[in-house]
Structure 1
Amino acid sequence: MKAIEQVPKTALDVFRLLPEGTLCEVIDNVLYMSPAPKYMHQNLLFLLAKRIDNYLEQTAKGQVIISPFDVYFENLLSAVQPDLLVLLNESKDILKNDGYIHGAPDLVIEVLSADKKRDTVQKKNLYEKAGVKEYFVVEPETREMTAWVLTDGTYQLQYTQVGLFKSALLSFEFEF
């Protein structure tokens, strides 16, 4: 265990002191802890990641990263662990030498869990402010996917549909 040399001033400072792999996020300088995801959540996450990753590998457009993985928005006093993110080749410069992303991934998918408000309101607002181009949330039990696209700095609802992933950014869609 490392000694704390300086008293943390923000929730983001506290977050940086936590052990690697801690299921925790900071949104607008508020620290949120989470339990481990349930089976249905992880099963759906794996399915989505596999399909999108296969496509990105075939097209050589970018890569998929799944949680737990830290994404920092220092200017917004936030650090989150999106369930799935896509980093296109032209955005790879936000993957820094510390091994984390500092800035907005191109696309984010959150598989909803018990605290739906965090994903559908707080994280949606954060991703919009940060500049994430496409944001998706999916309900694991019904497989209802809702998609927003960033247009002129504001999210516009693209669709809500059961079992459909459709990304204009990736030029890719599939049913699940």
Structure 2
Amino acid sequence: MSTLTRPSSISSETPREIRRQELHSGDRLDRATFHALYQRTPETFKAELVGGVVYVASPVSLRHCDPHAVLIAWLVNYQARTVGTRVADNGTVFLTPDRDEVQPDGMLFIRPESGGQGRYEQEYLAGGPEFVIEIATSSAAIDLHDKRDAYERAGVREYVALSTKEPELFWHENRDGRLVRLATPSDGVFRSNVFPGLWLNAAAAIANDAKGLLDTLGLGLADSAHAAFVAELARRRV
């Protein structure tokens, strides 16, 4: 998501005492109360609930928009060749029942009817999507700390964060319930273990090189493991 403002202070109000129709960074709310208040805000207003604390997004710069667009294109191209998967751009996720409601910059998930770990609740995804991308301002951003922990709690299986201030790509894999950062492979290409064929050229991602990203993805989509995965998704479909 766009840069989130860390709370300067924490509100002591409990959800039952909140009567206003506004959200502020630092509010402590349960997810149901947050969602009810968030539904009353303008479309242009963005906020997330992470660990029971509200974070309101700041304006979005081109430094954020450029890699966001390129990585969404990368995901959409994978989805187009992988029936049974779905991409969402900045969509609301009921990540955990009580503490976390977020809007990842990008996510790729296996559709519930194809055996995915999430489920549809109203018009939203509930539970951790298999694969999440966030564009972070820096390595100190919430995306690489509290928000990463929220994704870990929800069982997200792979998490990619791209830091734009000091350009760096962080690829995390869920191992025994913990999101562990992986070292960049010797050839510079991360290969998803959850979505066979989803190959990410780290240097191209950092450089906002859409052609480089899609060329590498094309190699992944041509790999026999991708064809086997597509066939497996078809068998699972209900």
> What TM-score do you get using the length of structure 2 for normalisation?
0.63
Aligned counterpart, 1:3: none
Q: What amino acid is the match of 1:166?
A: R
1:95 corresponds to which residue? 120
Map of 1:169 onto structure 2: 194
Give the letter for the 1:103 counterpart.
G
Which letter does structure 2 place at the counterpart of 1:38? S
Cα displacement (A) at 1:27? 0.9
Identity across the alignment (%): 22
Q: Is the 8 Å Cα contact of residues 23 and 34 (structure 1) preserved in structure 2?
A: yes
Q: How does 1:136-147 map to 2 (within 5 A)?
A: 136-141=160-165, 143-147=167-171
Alignment length (residue pairs)? 168
Q: Post-superposition shift, 1:117? A: 2.9
Match in the other structure for 1:80: 102
What is the rounded CA distance, in whole Å, between the counterparts of 2:119 and 2:140 in structure 1?
28
After superposing on structure 2, the runs of 4+ consecutive aligned residues of structure 1 that deviate more than 6 Å are none
Q: Tell me if structure 2 keeps the 8 A contact 1:106–1:132.
A: yes
Gapped regions of structure 2 (runs ≥ 5): 1-15, 19-27, 205-238
Can you give the 5+ residue segments of structure 1 that lack an aligned partner in the other structure? 1-5
Matches within 5 A, 1:7-156: 7-8=17-18, 10-12=29-31, 13-18=33-38, 19=41, 21=43, 22-67=45-90, 69-89=91-111, 90-91=115-116, 94-96=119-121, 98-113=122-137, 116-141=140-165, 143-156=167-180
- Would the alpha carbon gap of residues 174 and 154 (structure 1) be closer, same or farther in structure 2, given more than 3 Å must change? closer
- Distance in 1 (CA, whole Å) between partners of 2:79 and 2:34 is 35
Spell out, residue by residue over 1:35-72, the C-alpha distance to the aligned partner (whole angstroms, 9 max, x if none): 132112111111111112112211224121111x2111
Larger radius of gyration: 2
What root-mean-square deviation, in Å, do the aligned CA atoms of Structure 1 and Structure 2 show? 2.5
Other structure's SS at 2:49 match: strand
Q: Is the 8 A contact 2:118 2:128 kept in 1?
A: no
Partners of 2:71 and 2:126 in 1: how far apart? 24
Task: Give the Å deviation of 1:164.
Answer: 5.0
User: SS state of the match for residue 52, structure 1?
Assistant: helix
Query: Would you say the 8 A contact 1:131–1:150 is kept in 2?
Result: yes
**What SS class does the counterpart of residue 74 from structure 2 fall into?**
helix
Amino acid paired to 1:27: V
Question: Does structure 2 retain, via aligned residues, the 8 Å contact 1:15–1:24?
Answer: no
Structure number with the higher strand fraction is 1
For the residue of structure 2 that corresponds to 1:10, the secondary structure is coil
Describe the shift of the 1:115–1:76 C-alpha distance in structure 2 as closer, same or farther (beyond 3 A).
farther
State the AA in 1 paired with 2:116: S
Provide the TM-score with structure 1 as the length reference: 0.82
For the 8 Å contact 2:49–2:102, the answer to whether it is kept is yes
Q: Distance in 2 between matches of 1:152 and 1:166?
A: 19
Instruction: Check conservation: 2:47, 2:56, Cα contact below 8 A.
Output: yes
